[in-house]
Amino acid sequence: MRLSLPIRAQAVIGVVLLLLSGVVVVQGVDARHTTGATRLAGPSSVAFMQVVAHPDDDLYFIDPDLVQAVRSGAPVSTVYVTAGEANGRNGARGQPRVPVDYPAYIAARHAGLRRAYAQMATGDPNAAWTRGVLPAKDGPVESDTLAERPNVRLVFLNTGNWRGPGGTMQRLMGLWEGGVGRLRTRPALGSPVSGSVSYTRAALIAQLDELMRRFHPSVIRTLDPDPERGTDSKGFEHRIDHPDHTATALMTREAARRYQKQVSGPVVTEYYRGYYNRHWPANLGPKAFEEKMSFIRTYGWADKGRFPCRDPGGCGDLQTGNSGDRNGWPQSTHPRYPGSTRWMQPQADGRLVAFAVVSDRVMRWEQDRPGGGWRPGVPMPDPGFVSDLDVARLPDGRLAVFGLRVLRTTALTRPRYRIMYARQDRPDGPFGDWLDLGNPAGSTVVREHDAGSPVTAVDGAGRIAVFSRNAGQGVSVRYQNADQTFGPWTDLGGKRVQDGLTAGTDASGRIEVFGAAIPAWAKWRWNRPPGTPGLWHWRQPAPGRPLEGPGAWMPTKVGVAGPLTMARDGQGRLSLVARQVGGPGTLVFRQQAPDGAWPHRPETLPGPGGFGPVGAVGSAEAVAPAEAAGPTGAAGRAEGAGRAGATGGGLLLVGRDASGGVGASAGGVRWQSAPGLFMHAPATVVDGRGRAVTAVLDPLGRLQVTRPYTPSGSGADAARWQWQTVGARVPGER
């Protein structure tokens, strides 16, 4: 309930109280910054930057990656592009209607964010902040820093929604598409930036670029530039996400491209799903979900009345309040381009090669000899790659790498989306040029954006099959011909399939394909996925023959959350590995015999927490490395393999854990975590010496490799993880 004083009087009194209490100090921020005229060194140290549309997008869609970044101690800057003024009423649902006051409501949302970030960084949501003005070429912005952790910063651009000529609403998407020439800002009540700024599209992109050059992020995170497609109650097809989210992501992607050209160090860019979180299976465990909700409740001022609020507009967003999970958004965190765990593979001579998207390009690292050290990363030609990568190993030992590339055209707002691949000219040789596999959408440009991350398999006839989720939320495939060209895209069917497919080849050389999915027959509720999420499955009739649609819906006894991973054990059986919906467990579906049937009830094993695909490799050496604690030598390896085979099918499981590090488990018996903070999903393979090797991408865009430490007894010993860090050369570096 608001005070009875007029709002403007509240503002004056509130600002005086703030200044007297020392909770918020208003000051100018050093205006010195580097312009785009000279190339910048770095980023040489880890720094995170989130660019989101509205106050709270980061809490809903990027966390828990956000809180992991804050707790790492690295600099964290979050930029909010819009004011998020909504209807201007900071009132709780079911309570008496409050007057419209846009500046006050904007200020309340900002205050809620400061409290949420203070809680993440210090544990005290009421920790002090310093509010200041950040001068910039395209207009000053408010920049708030946490007093106890001044490397935690919130930046507010505050673009607003305005009625234009004829009463049409002018929004951020109109600015991106060109229908709106300029968009003015709405300053928050009590903000040190009192005047309004007017942005063109070019100016707003330049502002984001300047902020990137100022803060030197090594990791840039934003929202979904290509949201999911759905149908409303009247049958009209549209994107199911807020257009502000999409416009922000598109402008951030363009600004990041410019920034990456101006710095000599690698930059990792990540994109996150928005509103569609509520339609896909919940992939956060109870502990991660509850912590995420604690920050959303703090932002929503759910603790109103339990402390003296000194912010003039209020101390949080009462429209969110204590019910921030009613919309179904916080139950999951879904990267837009999930990729796979197969971005590292052995070459014909046993040397490992790893690939990752860094600074808009595909970076390639390789060992100098089998089991040896690693050479610095080398960028492959041509920019524009956005997805994690999938690497196929051909029968003659050559490798082929596949990824999704966004090609700029003469029209900034109409990029083309293409699945590309490059393969070695000969075993252990160099890679040729990127070749264009097009897109499952064919010539329908508007549906190109829906292409999923490519996933591949090679059948017993030596033919590559490339799979991608398509605009209909089914699966499409393109096959390699005998002359090394590829045939057309073919729709295999499937419904409500989640991106993050997996494909493998069984002992008879037949390809098997799986995708996690929502039951096609169930009605969708607006805020929850229906039914028990299961699997869509395709099986090749014989090597060399095409897979046949429409595939088979495979209900499962336990809810499955993608992305998925497939591996073959030492007996030739395939295993499918997934995360458990709403729980911390890892699910393993194992063929009952080589080429045999798949069970509908998986083994449910302990999990590492976190989200993303869990990688798997199968061999006795892999599941019980000689360095592990406990019995050593051949007898120890046999004992370890026996223990793993009893529960996990003889697999070494490796995945990103609840802290953002890497966890490994011999057969799912016990997870051992490696400290640190890594990007995307780890890759694990067996090298030329029969040893399991795990690789990750760190927040500086470097490769880190290790032999997983999987202790067989009690007592974790994180020091056993011996990481080798391998840098990368980027274009323009000397």
Q: Provide the token pair at 595.
A: 């080429």
Q: Is residue 80 scored above 90 in pLDDT?
A: yes
Residue 619, pLDDT score? 57
Q: What is the mean pLDDT of residues 161-176?
A: 91
Q: What is the mean pLDDT of residues 202-213?
A: 97
Q: How many Cα atoms sit within 13 Å of 41 on the Cβ side?
A: 3
Domain extents for the chain? 48-300, 344-621+648-712+719-725
Task: Read off the pLDDT of residues 305-316 as tens digits, 9 standing for 90 and up.
Answer: 999 999 989 999
Residue 636, pLDDT score? 34
Of the candidates 663, 648, 589, 660, the one whose C-alpha atom is nearest the C-alpha of residue 617 is: 648
User: CA–CA separation, 405 vs 410, rounded Å?
Assistant: 16
Q: Is residue 626 scored above 90 in pLDDT?
A: no
Residue 717, pLDDT score? 52
User: CA–CA separation, 579 vs 583, rounded Å?
Assistant: 8
Radius of gyration of the chain (CA): 26
Task: Read off the pLDDT of residues 446-472 as tens digits, 9 standing for 90 and up.
Answer: 788 889 999 999 999 999 999 999 998
Q: What is the mean pLDDT of residues 338-345?
A: 91
pLDDT tier at 712, thresholds 50, 70, 90: low
Cis before 43? omega within 30: yes
Residue 683, pLDDT score? 95
Of the candidates 118, 119, 72, 75, the one whose C-alpha atom is nearest the C-alpha of residue 659 is: 72
User: CA–CA separation, 486 vs 480, rounded Å?
Assistant: 4
User: CA–CA separation, 437 vs 381, rounded Å?
Assistant: 17
Residue 164, pLDDT score? 84
Residue 474, pLDDT score? 94
What's the Cα-to-Cα distance from 204 to each of 29, 49, 137, 247, 326, rounded to whole Å?
Answer: 20, 16, 11, 11, 33
pLDDT tier at 520, thresholds 50, 70, 90: confident
Q: What is the mean pLDDT of residues 28-45?
A: 58
pTM for this prediction: 0.90
What class has domain 48-300?
Answer: alpha beta
Residue 628, pLDDT score? 37
Q: In 625-687, which ranges are E strands?
A: 651-656, 662-666, 671-674, 679-686
| CATH fold group of domain 344-621+648-712+719-725 | Neuraminidase (2.120.10)
CB atoms within 10 A of CB 27: 10
Residue 232, pLDDT score? 52
Interior angle at CA 354, CA 535 and CA 722, nearest 5: 100
Report the range of poorest mean pLDDT among 33-42, 76-85, 594-603: 33-42
pLDDT tier at 233, thresholds 50, 70, 90: low
Task: Read off the pLDDT of residues 680-701 as tens digits, 9 standing for 90 and up.
Answer: 999 999 988 888 999 999 999 9
Bridge partners of 156, per DSSP, are 80, 142
Task: Read off the pLDDT of residues 266-282 as tens digits, 9 standing for 90 and up.
Answer: 999 999 999 988 888 89
Residue 24, pLDDT score? 52
First to last CA, the chain: 61
Q: Helix H segments across 433-494?
A: 445-448
Residue 339, pLDDT score? 73
CB atoms within 10 A of CB 378: 14
Are 292 and 245 within 8 A, CB to CB?
Answer: no
Pick left, alpha or beta for residue 680 (phi over 0 → left; psi -120 to 50 → alpha; otherwise beta).
left
CA 646, distance to chain mean position in Å, is: 34
Instruction: Select the more confidently predicted residue: 30 or 39.
Output: 39
Q: Helix H segments across 531-677?
A: 620-623, 633-648
What's the Cα-to-Cα distance from 223 to each of 179, 214, 681, rounded to whole Å?
Answer: 22, 21, 19
Q: What is the mean pLDDT of residues 117-133?
A: 97
Q: What is the mean pLDDT of residues 203-231?
A: 94
pLDDT tier at 94, thresholds 50, 70, 90: confident
Pick left, alpha or beta for residue 649 (phi over 0 → left; psi -120 to 50 → alpha; otherwise beta).
left
Q: What is the mean pLDDT of residues 214-234?
A: 86
User: CA–CA separation, 466 vs 419, rounded Å?
Assistant: 9
Of the candidates 284, 316, 312, 313, the one whose C-alpha atom is nearest the C-alpha of residue 297 is: 316
Q: Provide the token pair at 423.
A: 């393969």
Residue 28, pLDDT score? 54
Quick one: how many helices (H) and strands (E) in the chain? Answer: 11, 42
Looking at the chain, the whole-number percentage of residues with pLDDT higher than 70 is: 85
Q: In 475-613, which ranges are E strands?
A: 475-479, 490-491, 502-505, 511-517, 534-539, 552-554, 560-568, 574-580, 586-590, 603-605
Q: Is residue 634 scored above 70 in pLDDT?
A: no
Q: What is the mean pLDDT of residues 295-314?
A: 95
Q: Is residue 624 scored above 70 in pLDDT?
A: no
Q: Crossing angle of helices 286-299/102-122, nearest 10°?
A: 140
Instruction: Select the more confidently predicted residue: 540 or 717.
Output: 540
Q: Crossing angle of helices 201-215/243-262, nearest 10°?
A: 50
Of the candidates 83, 88, 85, 89, the one whose C-alpha atom is nearest the C-alpha of residue 53 is: 83
What's the Cα-to-Cα distance from 479 to each of 377, 413, 433, 459, 491, rounded to whole Å?
Answer: 31, 31, 19, 10, 12
Report the range of poorest mean pLDDT among 33-37, 182-186, 551-555: 33-37
Task: Read off the pLDDT of residues 426-446 as tens digits, 9 standing for 90 and up.
Answer: 999 999 999 999 999 887 877
User: CA–CA separation, 142 vs 155, rounded Å?
Assistant: 6
Q: Sort strands 268-271 and 603-605 into parallel, antiparallel or unpaired.
A: unpaired
Average pLDDT of the chain? Answer: 87
Q: Provide the token pair at 189.
A: 């009540």
Residue 150, pLDDT score? 97
Of the candidates 209, 288, 256, the one whose C-alpha atom is nearest the C-alpha of residue 659 is: 288
